[in-house]
């Protein structure tokens, strides 16, 4: 019986990473380059025309000049940037596809070579089997045994005595055993190669998907991509959106952008004034807002939501369902008038649209029509240079535990919402898993301030407390509003928790000195702190945080040893450090005094509970390895990544479900001060010493 061996390795492979050609991708890239060149030439021609007409004066020319300056030149620049960015994206994609296709060709060739080797081995095994008179019931995908079967003698050996028969068998064994074993070994090695090839093939398919995902993300990030994302889904709406944004009109049809309305007669009943202009930077007392809103007639509330949604959507103290309804109207408004938006605003709106689209898909697929978690747009402000927003995950009007998350450095809303969307979903999921009751928890990604940029950009704002001081009053108002909004409802006042990361701990602690002593938060948890303002927060007693036990405030803190960026952020400006064990390679941590009285927990991982460690500064990790000095965490190893020890602990803290084992693992921090020691050579070295009692 002849052993069957597949002839074509392709029959062993599922799916394919080889689709299309690199030439086709490069052709699209060349088209994008041509568009960029045309846009540049168009801008030059328009500028030349404007210069030529500059000496002439007329109403029509003035109108034309205005259109050139306000639409045509900026529009040409938008097209140029978008096309250039698209060209870069397609070039990167073409390079990846070229590599994947080459790897796929080598993988298929290796598979064919392995099958050819197996075929040769089967021929050799069958030939030996015929000589030694044994059957070959072997599957090609299993292989022949490594030990040759005992040879059998034919009928001509019937006249031989026992010794002669044994000698004949040994002779056959010695003649063919080595070839059998060699063929069987090569066969097994070829099977391993086939399995490796199939694994590599599956990896290449995944790499192709990832490359396509990166291409889509890159195209979405272009100005044109953002316009497509924020526009309505119909082709006509998208055409109009892009045309009006770039040129101010489509075939002579234009649309004026109405101003965001911030005044209304009914606001007098709610705010005591018709103007809600100062709602964001100087929000009124949330308790008063909650009471006056409750006193309004239903028709009056609806009018305010419909007619001044910017004010209503950003007003702490109002029910979150009300704020969400108003802010979704603002999303629709911006969606209809994208031509008035900056690239940063477009990016934020595109991210919010993605979140709401996901919610729509989940609602459509859920038996009860409810997304998990439901989404609430808590705030949305596009009026400043830096857009600001907050998104809720869960029902903030009914949840028994709410967690307000504060982002840190380089986390302006348009830059960070995508990452905090993932982190917030992770937190909400972990909280539900701990509590065992979906819907009892809600988290808010609060991106409501102008965060400091990375120092590598030349901006050293992260070393100062200005951004924290500027954003803290607004965050404090939201914390007050979180309780006021529920004070008159049927669900009661929830537990209000604060979770801050990096420079967000600087802001959050500042805000916790501003809220009323009557409304302390239930817990404060700090992840990878970039330091606290010791002037405003000399000790934890300055913070309005409840006690979890007598004499112990519910203040929790963690720092992963792989995160060496956070102690630098605290040490350089000499801000206070919540984490006594935080270290950095420059020893700047020595310049930070240490706060005593917090409860420190580990983020290093716990194999006994199958919990991973955090290896860098990120809330959500990305990439195969951590960044230099832990500037970023690797994929799956951020502070708020799923199945990490830090997320598991945070979920238990913020749901009030700290088990005895976790409680025993907490370490109470001891206060340490910084003292400068002068050396013989005139150098000054900071050291930490036990603080003297005043």
243 compared with 580, residue with greater pLDDT? 580
Q: What is the pLDDT of residue 157?
A: 79
Q: What is the mean pLDDT of the chain?
A: 92
Provide DSSP, 159-175: TS-HHHHHHHHHHHHHH
* pLDDT > 70? residue 300: yes
* Count of domains for the chain: 2
Average confidence (pLDDT) over 217-244: 82
Establish if 14 belongs to a structural domain. no
For residues 422-447, give the mean pLDDT.
Answer: 94
pLDDT digits (tens, 9 = 90+) for 495-530: 999 999 999 999 999 999 999 999 999 999 999 999
Q: So what's the pLDDT on residue 294?
A: 96
Last residue of a domain, one of 157, 191, 221: 221
Beta bridge partners of 389: 380, 447
Report if residue 57 sits inside a domain.
Answer: yes
How much is the pLDDT for 200? 96
Its pTM stands at: 0.81
In a domain, 572, yes or no: yes
Residue 680 has what pLDDT? 66
Mean pLDDT of 249-264: 79
Give bridge partners of residue 402 from the DSSP assignment.
442, 496
Boundary (domain end) residue, out of 221, 238, 273: 221
Beta strands 388-393; 672-678: pairing state:
unpaired
Using one digit for the tens of pLDDT, what is the confidence trace for 44-88? 888 887 777 776 777 777 777 777 777 788 888 888 999 999 999
DSSP code for 72: I
Average pLDDT over residues 246-268: 82
| Tokens (6 digits) for 447 | 């991106």
The reply to whether 320 falls in a domain is: no
Higher pLDDT, residue 268 or 678: 268
CB contact at 8 A, 652 and 659: yes
Q: What is the pLDDT of residues 339-355, one digit of tens each?
A: 778 889 988 999 999 99
Sequence-ordered list of residues with C-beta below 8 angstroms from that of 606, at least 6 positions apart, any chain = 645
> Does residue 1 belong to any structural domain of this protein?
no
Residue 161: count of CB within 10 angstroms of its CB: 8
- Per the CB < 8 A criterion, the answer to whether 285 and 473 are in contact is no
Q: Is the pLDDT of residue 269 over 60?
A: yes
Residue, of 15 and 2, whose pLDDT is higher = 15
Mean pLDDT on 234-243: 80
pLDDT surpasses 60 at 165: yes
| Cα Rg of the chain (Å, integer) | 34
Mean pLDDT of 292-301: 96
Predicted local distance difference test score (pLDDT) of residue 359: 97
Query: What does DSSP assign to residue 599?
Result: E
* HEC per residue, 239-308: HHHHHHHHHCCECCECCCCCCCCCECCCHHHHHCCCECCCCCCCCCCHHHHHHHHHHCCHHHHHHHHHHC
Q: Would you say residue 253 has pLDDT above 70?
A: no
Which CATH number characterizes residue 506's domain? 3.40.50.1820
pLDDT at 262 over 80: yes
Q: Is the pLDDT of residue 585 over 60?
A: yes
> Using one digit for the tens of pLDDT, what is the confidence trace for 86-127?
999 999 999 999 999 999 999 999 999 999 999 999 999 999
- Is 476 a residue whose pLDDT tops 60? yes
pLDDT tens for each residue of 619-676: 999 998 999 999 999 999 999 999 999 999 999 999 999 999 999 999 999 999 998 8
The neighbouring-strand residues paired with 162 are none
Q: Tell me if 597 sits within 8 A of 577, measured CB to CB.
A: no
pLDDT value at position 313? 98
pLDDT at 694 over 60: no
Percent of the chain with pLDDT over 70: 97
> What range defines the domain where residue 145 resides?
21-221
Whole-Å CA distances, 202 to 8, 104, 330, 459: 18, 10, 44, 44
C-beta separation of 262 from 273 below 8 A: no
Residue 574 lies in a domain: yes
Q: Is the pLDDT of residue 402 over 80?
A: yes
Check if the beta carbon of residue 649 is closer than 8 Å to that of residue 430: no
Compute the distance between CA of residue 147 and CA of residue 71 in angstroms, rounded to an integer: 81
Rounded CA gap, 200 and 195, in Å? Answer: 9
| pLDDT at residue 620, rounded to an integer | 97
Q: What is the pLDDT of residue 15?
A: 94
Given pLDDT bands bounded at 50, 70 and 90, which one contains residue 693?
low
What lies within 8 Å, CB to CB, of 432 at 6+ separation is 438, 439, 440, 441
Residue 511 has phi, psi (to 5 degrees) of -65, -35
Classified as helix, coil or strand, 388 is strand
For residue 560, tell me if it sits in a domain: yes
Alpha carbons 552 and 540: distance in angstroms, whole number = 10
Residue 191, domain member (yes or no): yes
Evaluate if residue 412 carries a pLDDT over 80: yes
- Among 221, 249, 282, the domain-final residue is 221
What's the pLDDT score for residue 142? Answer: 95
């Amino acid at each position: 019986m002849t052993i069957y061996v597949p002839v074509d390795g392709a029959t062993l492979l599922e799916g394919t990473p080889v689709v299309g050609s690199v030439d086709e991708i490069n052709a699209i890239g060349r088209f994008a380059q041509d568009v960029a060149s045309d846009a540049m030439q168009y801008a030059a021609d328009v500028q030349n025309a404007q210069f030529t007409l500059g000496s002439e004066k007329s109403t029509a020319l003035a109108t034309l000049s205005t259109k050139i300056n306000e639409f045509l030149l900026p529009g040409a620049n938008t097209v140029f940037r978008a096309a250039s960015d698209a060209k870069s994206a397609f070039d990167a994609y073409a390079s990846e596809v070229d590599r994947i296709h080459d790897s796929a060709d080598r993988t298929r060739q290796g598979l064919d070579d392995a099958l050819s080797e197996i075929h040769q081995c089967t021929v050799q095994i069958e030939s030996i089997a015929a000589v030694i008179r044994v059957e070959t019931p072997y599957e090609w995908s299993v292989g022949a045994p490594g030990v040759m079967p005992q040879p059998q003698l034919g009928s001509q050996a019937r006249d031989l005595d026992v010794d002669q028969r044994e000698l004949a068998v040994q002779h056959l064994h010695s003649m063919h055993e080595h070839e059998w074993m060699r063929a069987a070994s090569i066969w097994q090695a070829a099977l391993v190669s086939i399995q490796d090839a199939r694994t590599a093939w599956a990896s290449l398919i995944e790499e192709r998907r990832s490359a396509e995902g990166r291409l889509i993300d890159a195209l979405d990030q272009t100005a044109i991509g953002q316009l497509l994302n924020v526009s309505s889904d119909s082709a006509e709406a998208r055409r109009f959106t892009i045309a009006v944004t770039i040129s101010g009109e489509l075939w002579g049809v234009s649309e004026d952008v109405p101003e965001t309305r911030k005044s209304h007669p009914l606001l007098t009943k709610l705010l005591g004034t018709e103007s809600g202009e100062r709602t964001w930077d100087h929000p009124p007392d949330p308790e008063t807002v909650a009471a006056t809103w409750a006193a309004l007639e239903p028709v009056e509330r609806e009018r305010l939501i419909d007619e001044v949604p910017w004010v209503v959507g950003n007003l702490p103290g109002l029910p979150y369902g009300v704020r969400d309804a108003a802010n979704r109207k603002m999303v629709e408004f911006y969606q209809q008038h994208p031509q008035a938006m900056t690239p940063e605003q477009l990016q934020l709106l595109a991210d919010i649209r993605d979140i709401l689209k996901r919610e729509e898909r989940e609602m459509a697929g859920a038996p009860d029509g409810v997304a998990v978690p439901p989404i609430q747009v808590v705030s949305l402000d596009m009026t400043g240079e830096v857009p600001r927003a907050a998104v809720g995950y869960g029902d903030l009007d009914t949840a028994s535990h709410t967690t307000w998350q504060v982002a840190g450095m380089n986390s302006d809303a348009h830059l960070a919402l995508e990452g905090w969307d993932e982190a917030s979903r992770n937190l909400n999921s972990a909280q539900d898993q701990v509590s065992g009751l979906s819907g009892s928890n809600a988290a808010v990604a609060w991106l409501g301030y102008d965060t400091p940029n990375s120092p590598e950009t030349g901006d050293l704002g992260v070393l100062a407390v200005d951004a924290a001081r500027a954003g803290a009053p607004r965050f404090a108002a939201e914390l007050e509003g979180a309780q006021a909004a529920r004070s008159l409802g049927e669900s009661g006042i929830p537990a209000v928790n604060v979770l801050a990361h990096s420079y967000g701990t600087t802001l959050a602690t500042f805000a916790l000195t501003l809220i009323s002593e009557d409304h302390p938060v239930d817990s404060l948890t700090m992840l990878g702190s970039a330091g606290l303002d010791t002037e405003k927060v000399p000790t934890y007693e300055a913070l309005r945080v409840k006690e979890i036990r007598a004499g112990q405030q519910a203040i929790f803190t963690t720092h992963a040893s792989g995160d060496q960026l956070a102690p630098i952020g605290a040490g350089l400006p000499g801000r206070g450090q919540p984490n006594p064990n935080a270290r950095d390679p420059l020893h700047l941590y020595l310049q930070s005094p240490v706060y005593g009285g917090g409860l420190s927990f580990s983020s290093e991982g716990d194999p006994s509970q199958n919990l991973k460690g955090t290896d860098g500064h990120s809330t959500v990790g990305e990439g195969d390895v951590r960044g230099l000095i832990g500037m970023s965490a690797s994929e799956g190893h951020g502070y708020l990544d799923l199945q990490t020890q830090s997320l598991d602990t945070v979920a238990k803290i913020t749901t009030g479900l700290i088990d005895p084992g976790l409680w025993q693992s907490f370490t109470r921090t001891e206060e340490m001060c910084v003292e400068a020691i002068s050396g013989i050579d005139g150098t000054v070295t900071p050291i930490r010493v036990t603080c003297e009692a005043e």
